[in-house]
A = this chain, B = another copy of it.
Amino acid sequence: MQRYLPFLDWGRSYDRETLGADLVAALIVTVMLIPQSFAYALLAGLPPVLGLYASMAPLVLYALFGTSRTLAVGPVAISSLMTAAACGALFAQGTPEYAGAAVALAALSGVMLLGMGALRLGVLANFLSHPVISGFITASALLIAAGQLRHLLGVQAGGSTAPELVPALLAALPGTSLTTLALGALTIAFLLWARRGLAPALRRLGLAERGATALARTGPVIAVALTTLATWALGLDVAVVGEVPRGLPALALPPLDPALLTQIAVPALLISVVGYVETVSIAQTLAARRRERIDPDQELIALGAANLGSAVSGAFPVSGGFARSVVNFDAGARTPAAGLFTAAGMAAATLLLTPLIRHLPQATLAATIIVAVLGLVDLRALTRVWAYSRADFAAQAGTILVTLLAGVEAGLITGVGLSVALQLWRSSRPHVAVVGQVPGCEHFRNVARHEVVTAPHVLSLRVDESLSFPNARFLEDYVYDAVAADPRIRHVVLVCPAVNAVDASALESLEAIIHRLSDAGVTLHLSEVKGPVMDGLRRAGLPEHLTGEVFLSQYDAFRTLAPEAAAEAMARPRLAEATQARRGTGRAAG
């Protein structure tokens, strides 16, 4: 029971001190969340009030079901962009159908996450490799920033990919509203300064360290207040948020049109997985700092409940937000109750503040978004990944390019496809070494790297990879080629210390190798097969097919098949290199 309702655990020991800490953290997060929730609603192409709605019920539900003590959920940049892309592909922004599609996305995403949680399928998130998710976030952040430029310039220029956005922006450039641009530029400058300079400035004014850090987070709220005031007082001619309905959301079942659900199934899945990966990664990072544990499968349930909460509030998909979770953690939140108090704070804001934001300029929100997402752009990751692995680089660069050129869904699918294909490609070309005996000891090493003893009629091959369908055929080809190339070979020994598994394809390949070698008058032996692998091979009856033997160690194999060579190798003095090899006895390295 406690596993599915974690609040039963932390709720029991809740005391006054914890309450105080949670309340302070909730206050700071609320102040930060108000402008963010407006901004991300705008980014999703929805009325600003929906950002507030997405910041109440989801927080309450996550507090009840989540296992992270400090994660803060709500509207976030990437999910909002993906929502805009999915809904924009079906309906025009501003129509009730568009808003309905966003609600349906949240609902379907919630159901999918709950389903995966019930089946404990958190492992599905593994399909998104680090380079792909990092490339996707970078490209999405660039798309988001480019998409917000129109609000900074005060022009109309739509589009969800670079080839749509760039020409539209260039064409609209002559119509730039200088007032809007000046307001937006000033806001960006202020926000950038506030990030670095506000806390030191506050400390110089005499504030205590912790208070200064906390107050420095209020930069966006100050920007919102000042620009709204300026627009109202000076009657500036800029696009504003306009009338915002007052009051709490009326909870309602989301519309469930089967045709619509089919159309949004893929985007909903992608939003779910991306949101989940981000959520778990943030939760893990924060939990580790206090040596707490999170349960990745329960996080699926919590995030699913949060999204259903957003759907019944009439809002859009939510997930864990990195910046606000860190703020929550730093501000001293101790339990998910801080999330409950934040939700209460947002409810109060909805009731009290909505009349005040009528004159809030859209340029201010665009500036907030741009400053927030530019921190997500990590182009240096490309050089880092390039230096480490060409295959990972290909997946990352492919994800970035396709996301920018063809949109978020195509980019993400490309990234997943590429990383899976490259993973199979990699395991399809395993490292195989011909090994020989190191003089003076029982160890065997790569003939290409070491001075070792071999016998012409015995070929010992060490395969440094599990045997499975991506490399089954490679092994067949490799063994035949080696045997066809040297007519002296009478015995082939597969040395298997690095073989962690053998699947049914590789099993059939082994049988094919045995029979085909036998046709060519060559015997196949195995050595150093791991216990669990040998159990499986035995169950499949491989030892009966085997023309040769299964040796416990490669030395046993060599001693049996080439006794003279083995004895001669043993009699030779041990080399310095061999001594070093001896030190790392367990290593199967070259």
Contact = CB atoms under 8 A, between A and B. Distances in A.
A425 B476 CA distance: 25
B586 A528 contact: yes
Given A388-B507, A536-B389, A588-B530, A465 B131 contact: no
Contact of A130 (B125, B296, B477, B505): B505
B585 A531 contact: no
A126 interface: yes
A389 B505 CA distance: 10
B504 A130 contact: yes
B586 A553 contact: yes
A8 B431 CA distance: 33
A389 B504 contact: yes
A422 to B, nearest CB: 9
B552 A465 contact: no
Interface stretch (A210-218, A283-291, A311-319, A355-363): A283-291
A556 B389 CA distance: 30
A471 B427 CA distance: 14
Contacts of A589: 530-532
Interface string A550-567: 001110100000000000
A231 interface: no
A107 to B, nearest CB: 26
A493 B290 CA distance: 21
A440 to B, nearest CB: 15
A553 B583 contact: yes
B388 A497 contact: no
A296 B519 contact: no
Given A126-B472, A480-B288, A504-B131, A585 B585 contact: yes
Interface in A559-590: 583-590
Given A498-B498, A588-B497, A429 B291 contact: no
Contacts of A477: 284, 296
Contacts of A512: 284-285
Sorted from nearest, which 3 A-B pairs have the closest CB atoms? A288-B516, A129-B469, A392-B504
25 contacts: A126-B424, A126-B474, A127-B470, A129-B468, A129-B472, A129-B505, A130-B509, A284-B477, A284-B512, A291-B483, A291-B487, A291-B520, A293-B480, A385-B504, A389-B536, A391-B503, A396-B504, A423-B424, A423-B470, A443-B585, A465-B500, A528-B584, A528-B587, A553-B587, A586-B586
Interface of A: 123, 125-131, 280, 284-285, 287-293, 296, 384-385, 387-389, 391-392, 396, 419-420, 423-431, 442-444, 464-466, 468-474, 476-477, 480-481, 483-485, 487, 495, 497-498, 500-501, 503-505, 507-509, 512, 516-517, 519-520, 528, 530-532, 536, 539-540, 552-554, 556, 583-590
